[in-house]
Amino acid sequence: MKNTHNRFSTRKRVLSFKFAFNGIKKLFATQHNSRIHLAVTIFVIIAGFLFNISKVEWLLVVFAIGFVFSAELFNSALESIVDLVSPEYQKKAEDAKDFAAGAVLITAIISAIIGMIIFIPRLIILLN
């Protein structure tokens, strides 16, 4: 008997993208902080074009944006799993959620630092 479970399927690949995009849509629909990150992302992208940042700076900005949204998605996934397996309050469940939220905060802080390194010198020049 052939094992068809692991066979390549274009249909399954397309569905995997559909599920991934559903996850991204759910992130913005349910997580308020992701909307704040999206607003900041739009602002930073506009600033990048206005200040004509370099290719390397664009790479850093794009990496930072992806870093934050990936962390938000992992955090949301972990929160959903914790809520599923531990619907009643447990200290360990709270700790797991706090650790994941802390990871998002660190990514946001690092991304903000990257943004400040890129944009503050340009703002100083603009204001002088």
Residues annotated catalytic, as ranges: 72
Three-state SS across the chain?
CCCCCCCCCHHHHHHHHHHHHHHHHHHHHHCHHHHHHHHHHHHHHHHHHHCCCCHHHHHHHHHHHHHHHHHHHHHHHHHHHHHHHCCCCCHHHHHHHHHHHHHHHHHHHHHHHHHHHHHHHHHHHHHC
User: Nearest-CA neighbor of 100 among 68, 81, 63, 72?
Assistant: 72
